[in-house]
Amino acid sequence: MNVYDSARMADTLAPLGYVETDKVDDADMVVINTCHIREKASEKVFSELGRLRRMKETRQSEQNRDMSIAVAGCVAQAEGEEIARRAPWVDVIVGPQAYHTLPELVSKLDPSSRGAVMNTDFPVEDKFDFLPEEHAPRGPAAFLSVQEGCDKFCTFCVVPYTRGAEFSRPVKSIIDEAKRLLATGTVELTLLGQNVNAWHGMAVDGSTWNFGRLLYALAELDGLKRLRYVTSHPLDMHDLLFDAHVEIPQLMPYLHLPVQSGSNRILEAMNRRHDRDAYFKIIERLRHGRADMAVSGDFIVGFPGESDRDFADTLNLINEVKYASAYSFKYSPRPGTPAASDDMQIDEAVKSERLAGLQQLLTSQQQAFNHSKLDQVMDVLIERPANRAGQKAGRSPWMQAVHFSEDVGQIGDIVPLKIVSATQNSLAGQAVI
Ligand code: SF4
C-alpha cells in the first residue's frame, strides 16, 4: 500500500511542478514514506533523517539551495509529535489519511523558519475525492487501493491505530480509477486494502456491494486481463467471493490469506476471531473451486505465551496447507497494542530458533511449488526489462517472477512460456514454438 500511496503523493505534487527522481542528490524535496508494522521502523526513520539533515545542511552551505524533507506514512501518524521534537529540520509531517493535503502543506513551507507543518488527522472527507488523476502511466501491473484501515484489532497489530477505522471507497471512485489505469496500458490490477475483502462500498444506486460483487464489476471492464487482491482476512471470505474465484477468468489462482498461527489458543489470544479449522475449510473450498489455487500466508512466531505445543501446531498447519510462499516474522511488541503489555513475552533466542525452523519449512514448500511448474506452459505478463542483460521479466499467474529472453513479446503482453528451470525465488521460461 505504501508503493501505491507514494505514487499518489507524486500525483498530488506533480501540479506544483515536482517530478520524481531516483537520485536523492537531485531532490528539492525528499519524502520518506514510512511503515510502522514492524519493530525498529521509527529508529530507521530517525537514522535516515540524520543522514538527510547532513545532506540538507551541505546543500545550504555549499550550493545555497534548500531541500525540504517530508515524513509520510504510519510512523508520521503514530510519532509525528516526536519527529517534530527530535528532528526540527523536518519540514512536513503527514499521515496516511491526509496526504491529499500535501500541496497545501508544501505551500506553507517557509525556509527561514524551523519546525514542521503537520497533518496527521483522520479527516472526515474521503481523501480519494481530493487526489488528482494519475500524472503518469503505472505500467502493465498496477495497484488500486479500495479499502483502508481496520476495525479488527488483532492484539499484535498497530494498523487500526495508524490507518484508522475501516473505510471502503465507493464503487464509482474505484471503477473510474480502474478505467483510467486500463486506458494507459495497465492490464493487471491488484486491489489493495488492509482488509481488502472486508470492502463494502456504496454503489451508484445507493446500495451497498460486497467485495465479490466489486470483482465481478471490475472483470467487465475493457482491457482488464488479470485481477488480484491483497490482503484478505479469513473472516471476510464470503460466498460471492468464493464464486468469483471459480467464475472470473481474470481472477488469478493465487490468494494471500494470512493466518499468523496454527494454534487455536494463540489465534484467540491474537483476537483473530477464527480457529484453524475455519482456515482449513476456506482453503479446501478455494481449492475445490479451482484445483490450481495456490496460497500464501503471514506467520508470527513467538507471540506472547506461545508454547512449544502452540508452535508445533503452526508447523502442522503449514504442513497441511502447503504454501506457495509466505512472510514470517518474530513477534515484536508494537507500542500501544494489547499484546505489547502481555507479561508472557517470549525469549528472543526462542523466537529466533522457532523462526529458523518455520522458515526452513516454508522455503522447502516454496521450492517444491516452483519446481512443480517445471515443463509446464504458463501465461506470463511481461512487466519490464530484467536486471540481467538480454532478458525480460514478468509474473506467472501465481506471482512467481519469470525471466526469459528479451526477444519474447512486448511489455504488457501476456505470453505462453514453457518453464525450463526453477529456483526458490524465480522461474526461467522459454517461448513456446
Ligand atoms: S486484521 Fe490485519 S490490519 Fe486488522 S488488526 Fe488484524 S492484522 Fe492488523
Are 299 and 262 contacting, i.e. CB atoms less than 8 angstroms apart? no
pLDDT in tens, 92-105: 999 999 999 999 99
Report how far residue 62's alpha carbon sits from residue 336's, in angstroms, rounded to the nearest whole number.
Answer: 43
CA of 95 to the centre of ligand 1 (A): 18
Please state the rounded mean pLDDT for residues 46-68: 93
pLDDT at 125: 72
pLDDT at 296: 98
Q: Ligand 1 pocket test: which of 38, 150, 232, 270 has the largest number of ligand atoms within 8 Å of its C-beta?
A: 150
pLDDT at 26: 86
**Which of helix, strand or coil describes residue 185?**
coil
pLDDT at 77: 92
Residues in the chain, total = 433
**Which of helix, strand or coil describes residue 317?**
helix
Residue 124 has pLDDT above 70, yes or no: no
In what helix (H) or strand (E) does residue 247 lie, and over which residues does it extend? Answer: helix 239-247
Question: What torsion, rounded to 10 degrees, do the Cα atoms 167, 133, 396, 360 define?
Answer: -50
Q: Is 153 in the pocket of ligand 1 (CB under 6 A)?
A: yes
Among protein residues, the one whose CA lies closest to atom 6 of ligand 1: 154
Q: Closest ligand 1 atom to the C-alpha of 157?
A: 8
Q: Is 233 in the pocket of ligand 1 (CB under 6 A)?
A: yes
Report how far residue 391's alpha carbon sits from residue 213's, in angstroms, rounded to the nearest whole number.
Answer: 39
Question: What torsion, rounded to 10 degrees, do the Cα atoms 338, 341, 342, 346 define?
Answer: 120
CATH topology of domain 377-431: OB fold (Dihydrolipoamide Acetyltransferase, E2P) (2.40.50)
Report how far residue 98's alpha carbon sits from residue 40's, in angstroms, rounded to the nearest whole number.
Answer: 24
Give 10's strand partners. none
State the DSSP code for 334. P
Report how far residue 287's alpha carbon sits from residue 328's, in angstroms, rounded to the nearest whole number.
Answer: 23
Phi, psi of 139 (to 5 degrees): 95, 175
Select the CATH number that applies to the domain covering 127-371 from these four: 3.30.200.20, 2.40.50.90, 3.80.30.20, 1.10.3720.10: 3.80.30.20
Share of the chain above pLDDT 70, in %: 100
Residue 116 has pLDDT above 80, yes or no: yes
pLDDT in tens, 225-256: 999 999 999 999 999 999 999 999 999 999 99
- Bridge-based pairing state of the strands 200-202 and 208-210: antiparallel
Residue 433 has pLDDT above 80, yes or no: no
CA of 140 to the centre of ligand 1 (A): 29
Are 7 and 134 contacting, i.e. CB atoms less than 8 angstroms apart? yes
In what helix (H) or strand (E) does residue 51 lie, and over which residues does it extend? Answer: helix 41-58
Give 29's strand partners. 68
Q: Ligand 1 pocket test: which of 153, 192, 236, 274 has the largest number of ligand atoms within 8 Å of its C-beta?
A: 153
Q: Is 74 in the pocket of ligand 1 (CB under 6 A)?
A: no
Report how far residue 233's alpha carbon sits from residue 183's, in angstroms, rounded to the nearest whole number.
Answer: 31
Report how far residue 23's alpha carbon sits from residue 296's, in angstroms, rounded to the nearest whole number.
Answer: 34
Cell of 1: 500500500
CATH assignment, 2-119: 3.40.50
pLDDT in tens, 274-314: 999 999 999 999 999 999 999 999 999 999 999 999 999 99
Report how far residue 295's alpha carbon sits from residue 27's, in angstroms, rounded to the nearest whole number.
Answer: 40
Q: Closest ligand 1 atom to the C-alpha of 158?
A: 8
pLDDT in tens, 328-354: 999 999 989 999 999 999 999 999 999
Cell of 92: 512536513
CA of 154 to the centre of ligand 1 (A): 5
Domain boundaries, the chain: 2-119, 127-371, 377-431
Q: Is 194 in the pocket of ligand 1 (CB under 6 A)?
A: yes
The residue with greater pLDDT, 397 or 40, is 397
Report how far residue 367's alpha carbon sits from residue 374's, in angstroms, rounded to the nearest whole number.
Answer: 11
Task: Say what the pTM is.
Answer: 0.94
